[in-house]
Structure 1
Amino acid sequence: MHNDTIVALATPSGSGAIAVIRLSGNDAITIASKCFKSVSNKDLNKQATHTIHLGHVIDNNRTIDEVLVSVFKDPNSYTGENVVEISCHGSSYIQQEIIQLFLREGCRMATAGEFTLRAFLNGKLDLSQAEAVADLISSDNEASHQIAMQQMRGGFSSEIAKLREELLNFASLIELELDFAEEDVEFADRTQFKALIERINFVLKRLIDSFAVGNVIKNGIPVAIVGEPNVGKSTLLNALLNEDRAIVSEIAGTTRDTIEDEISIGGIGFRFIDTAGIRETEDVVESIGIKKTFEKIEQAQVVMFLVSSAQLAVDKEAIKTITIEIEKVKNKFPQKQLLVILNKIDQITDSELADIRTALHSKATQVIPISAKTGFGVEQLTNKLLNLINTGALRNNETIVTNSRHYDALLKAFEEVQKVQYGLETDLSGDLLAIDIRQALYHFGEITGEITNDDLLGNIFANFCIGK
């Protein structure tokens, strides 16, 4: 634990209207008071916590800037230490002048995530809440923001802490039995213990299963747009993004490389990948693009196979070719969600559309008619994409796991709890039960930070931004 006073820019670097410089440590208020002259001659050291003061930052007799200084006294601050936040004008020159002044006065530059690390070490946040701070900063859609907020408020950690406390109570009784082993007494009610283990198993399995949804919500759902050249993949991407992101032309093979962009649909982030058209070609550059297409399909969770209905209406034999291509994708990537999109329906009749849909229906799980050019059917397509993602837990405000470290610890805890359950069913001796219970408790503690080490903390907080 560091007891010195740290300083860092808490707002993004570069010029702006306002910048915030944060100090934290036992001497934060004392150091700030040396460089601050209040317009009403107030002494910062004598001011109450959670107050704001107008004045100037002074370096000897030189005025650097007019500022607002916010004072937070320990333990009622973000870090649990004395904290001062200086709101200055957003000039890069002013920011650096103020920071350099405080460094000369005895502050040290904060490392990545050090303010939040101090909050954790001082008991203001547990480890999962601290990690949620970084997730909240990086959230770029409604769903990821909602999950991060719930975790930062302690929704996940409180659920884990409750399970750990109940398991710890029974572990204490089991350990007590070992002290009286010669008297053959039972302090832990095995029936209640079995019920607790079953409930813990149920909760752990739900949390583990939620990671599949949480991970894609946090990182965005990758969707590959594939198909033959000139079927309208780039036009569809532009329609989904509502901007001219991809080059569109009548020339087959215009898209030589993959193009990616993200949008939020219903609060969920989707990452659309426009790929090169799949066809036999001798063009070396286009061949590389097609190879990349299959790589992107491998990375995607949803595959949208785009078909030109206008082409199929005039070339009945092309339907056979398309169904073969669809089968190839389904067989090569059976675990992927596949949507077949019939594009350019504005160029065919209703009866032609019905015939094409009938021909393709047996080869595809979902067939959706659209016109990317006019926008018809695009809303239906986005609704279908949302339906593919299980957002029930999100709507019900249930705990969703998004952190791979938490997921790994939950898996290990689940494995140990199952061992405990097996031990209870087979009347395993108390000393052996105690070993598995201790291991389960250890993995629960890893999540909230009750059990940790310097390497783990270093890895977690190294991913934070400076000043948080």
Structure 2
Amino acid sequence: MQIKFKLFFNNKDTITAIATPNGIGAIAIIRISGKLCFKIVSSCFVSKEKKQITELKTNTMYLGFIKQNKKLIDKVFLCLFKQPFSYTGEDLIEIYCHGTLYIQNKILKFLIDNGARLANPGEFSLRSFKNGKIDLIQAEALSELFKAEDEAAHSLAIKNLNGKFSIFLKEIRKDIIYLNSLINVSLDFDEDNISEFNYKKFITTLVVLIKKIKITIIGFKKNNILKKGYYLVLVGRPNVGKSTLFNLLLKKERSIVSNISGTTINYIEEDFFIKGIKSRIVDTAGIKENKLDKLDIKGIHKTYETINSADLILVIKDKIEKDLEKDFKISRKKQIIIIINKCDLLKQKIISNKQYILISAKYRIGLERIKKQINKRLNYKYHKTDNIINNMRNYECLKQVLLTLMKIKKTRKNSLTPEIFSFLLREANYHLGKITKIVNNDEIFNQIFATFCLGK
């Protein structure tokens, strides 16, 4: 269940939480931030050097003891950060204690009993955002980083955490402001005296700006596949070796294999990683040519459904046949790799070429060729553009910026007044601003920050 909280910012509260995952571990980290954090921690922490909290250097680890009523609770390390040079922009302390549940909860309870309150999910990051330490894009990148399951998702989150998308938006905003300045200059004169040179300069800058945004939007559409994962489907006649190949690619016995034709009667799918990209690979029921019973019909119907959803289809054969793809109702727009299995049993001597790959799943011959071809096909289709948009909200806002700028581009010079041009540019800037700054929208803040853990 997602925890909801009202959007308010009370910097008088001192907040605390356990920043490490729930459970027992070697080390646990307890974080406390706010005006009272030094005072609260000084009432329980004794440094080995017997120094007061206010005497300790920032960004330095200190060995010491957590005591309650002179009773030793734990031997810990402590690191303090003074505002504004901390994650939250406030005074902040991190306590590194032993990771038993008793010690974690004992220290946390003491901090709360002495004036701190338990932080809401994501409240440390919310304070960081409110104090200007991170922008909203970086906050969303943090959320995406926590959810990243493969190299591609991780790479995108890291890029935006380092501000790549934020830099791009600043450039777009700078261009929009420049366009508006050209319009504002013209507003100082009569419409008949608007400089032809200024109009040409305006349109030239606008076209370049539109192209820049279009490239970024296309990049999101293509690379959004990376978050969902590719969908690979194995199809073929019964008993051609689909399930054997499926198991070999997964490196585990997931699908039942036998000499009996039609062993797989329903599709089976599993996670499959290709060059660090999470995907789904599907073993389907063999498509029979005749003598179909009710189960066969249902299984084949499911096979056709998976074919329609596939990003890449591996058509498995055990002999060279022509136009088998048409029998499987595969669209010409689909990416296809044709694989001839059981090459050890083929009578005629043939070699792999651009049309098909020869393999023997039984003897593990040709598997590397399949993997290389899979990576080549999907890499060509989806990795061409360097994507920097990390979620659908940002995509929709940037799309509105593009649509507004397109309105200006499609309008003839004399059909709109400079005032309307200026109004449309302000509208584009408004949509751009929604990406990094949200005003009075608790729901979006809840979606972003409530997905974080308590200590983040």
Q: What TM-score bracket applies, with the shorter chain setting the length? A: 0.7 to 0.9
Displacement after TM superposition at 1:233 (Å): 2.5
CA distance in 2, matches of 1:295, 1:463: 34
User: Is the Cα contact below 8 Å between 1:53 and 1:70 reproduced in 2?
Assistant: yes
Q: Which runs of 5+ in 1 are unaligned?
A: 314-318
The structure 1 residue matched to 2:105, chosen from 87, 96, 105, is 96
The structure 2 residue matched to 1:417, chosen from 405, 408, 413, is 405
Corresponding residue for residue 443 of structure 1: 431
User: Is the Cα contact below 8 Å between 2:269 and 2:281 reproduced in 1?
Assistant: yes
Displacement after TM superposition at 1:158 (Å): 0.4
Question: Could you tell which deviates more after superposition, 265-274 or 207-216?
Answer: 265-274
Are 1:248 and 2:295 matched, yes or no? no
Alpha carbons of 1:411 and 1:256: their partners in 2 closer, same or farther (altered >3 Å)?
same
Q: Which amino acid aligns with 1:219?
A: K
Map 1:81-230 → 2, pairs under 5 A:
81-172=90-181, 174-175=183-184, 178=187, 189-230=198-239
Q: Which amino acid aligns with 1:420?
A: I
Displacement after TM superposition at 1:330 (Å): 4.3
Are 1:408 and 2:396 matched, yes or no? yes
Provide the secondary structure at the position in 2 that maps to 1:140. coil
Q: Which amino acid aligns with 2:293?
A: E
Question: Could you tell which deviates more after superposition, 27-36 or 154-163?
Answer: 27-36
Alpha carbons of 1:173 and 1:194: their partners in 2 closer, same or farther (altered >3 Å)?
closer
Displacement after TM superposition at 1:424 (Å): 5.8
Alpha carbons of 1:254 and 1:434: their partners in 2 closer, same or farther (altered >3 Å)?
same
CA distance in 1, matches of 2:388, 2:183: 32
Corresponding residue for residue 282 of structure 1: 293
Corresponding residue for residue 303 of structure 1: 313
Displacement after TM superposition at 1:64 (Å): 2.7
Deviations 1:170-222 (A, max 9, x none): 32553565577799677993232212211111111100110133211223212
User: Is the Cα contact below 8 Å between 1:253 and 1:276 reproduced in 2?
Assistant: yes
Are 1:428 and 2:437 matched, yes or no? no
Provide the secondary structure at the position in 2 that maps to 1:49. coil
Displacement after TM superposition at 1:414 (Å): 0.7
- Which structure shows the higher helix fraction? 1
Alpha carbons of 1:263 and 1:56: their partners in 2 closer, same or farther (altered >3 Å)?
farther
Are 1:383 and 2:390 matched, yes or no? no
CA distance in 2, matches of 1:392, 1:49: 49
Q: Which amino acid aligns with 1:438?
A: R
Are 1:237 and 2:236 matched, yes or no? no
Provide the secondary structure at the position in 2 that maps to 1:68. strand
Deviations 1:380-405 (A, max 9, x none): 22222222234699688x44334211
User: Is the Cα contact below 8 Å between 1:301 and 1:336 reproduced in 2?
Assistant: yes
Displacement after TM superposition at 1:60 (Å): 2.8
Are 1:2 and 2:1 matched, yes or no? no
Displacement after TM superposition at 1:6 (Å): 2.1
Alpha carbons of 1:138 and 1:438: their partners in 2 closer, same or farther (altered >3 Å)?
same
Map 1:330-341 → 2, pairs under 5 A:
330-331=329-330, 333-341=331-339
Q: Which runs of 5+ in 2 are unaligned?
A: 1-8
CA distance in 2, matches of 1:220, 1:158: 27
Q: Which amino acid aligns with 1:273?
A: V
Q: Which amino acid aligns with 2:340?
A: L
Q: What is the RMSD computed on CA atoms of the aligned residues?
A: 3.1
Corresponding residue for residue 342 of structure 2: 344
User: Is the Cα contact below 8 Å between 1:207 and 1:401 reproduced in 2?
Assistant: yes
CA distance in 2, matches of 1:99, 1:228: 62
Provide the secondary structure at the position in 1 that maps to 2:217. helix
Provide the secondary structure at the position in 2 that maps to 1:163. helix
Provide the secondary structure at the position in 2 that maps to 1:327. helix
Provide the secondary structure at the position in 2 that maps to 1:124. coil
CA distance in 2, matches of 1:348, 1:172: 73
Are 1:19 and 2:17 matched, yes or no? no
Q: Which amino acid aligns with 2:428?
A: A
Displacement after TM superposition at 1:467 (Å): 2.3
Are 1:39 and 2:28 matched, yes or no? no
Alpha carbons of 1:255 and 1:432: their partners in 2 closer, same or farther (altered >3 Å)?
same
TM-score with structure 1 setting the length: 0.84
Corresponding residue for residue 3 of structure 2: none
Corresponding residue for residue 316 of structure 1: none
User: Is the Cα contact below 8 Å between 1:10 and 1:20 reproduced in 2?
Assistant: yes
CA distance in 2, matches of 1:431, 1:49: 54
CA distance in 2, matches of 1:367, 1:297: 19
Displacement after TM superposition at 1:450 (Å): 6.4
Alpha carbons of 1:32 and 1:230: their partners in 2 closer, same or farther (altered >3 Å)?
farther
Q: Which amino acid aligns with 2:370?
A: L
CA distance in 2, matches of 1:427, 1:215: 39
CA distance in 1, matches of 2:221, 2:364: 32
TM-score with structure 2 setting the length: 0.86
Q: Which amino acid aligns with 2:88?
A: T
CA distance in 1, matches of 2:41, 2:15: 12
Provide the secondary structure at the position in 2 that maps to 1:31. helix
CA distance in 2, matches of 1:225, 1:402: 31
Deviations 1:246-284 (A, max 9, x none): 333334444455433334333333322233434465365
CA distance in 1, matches of 2:314, 2:356: 10
Q: Which amino acid aligns with 2:310?
A: A
User: Is the Cα contact below 8 Å between 1:338 and 1:366 reproduced in 2?
Assistant: no
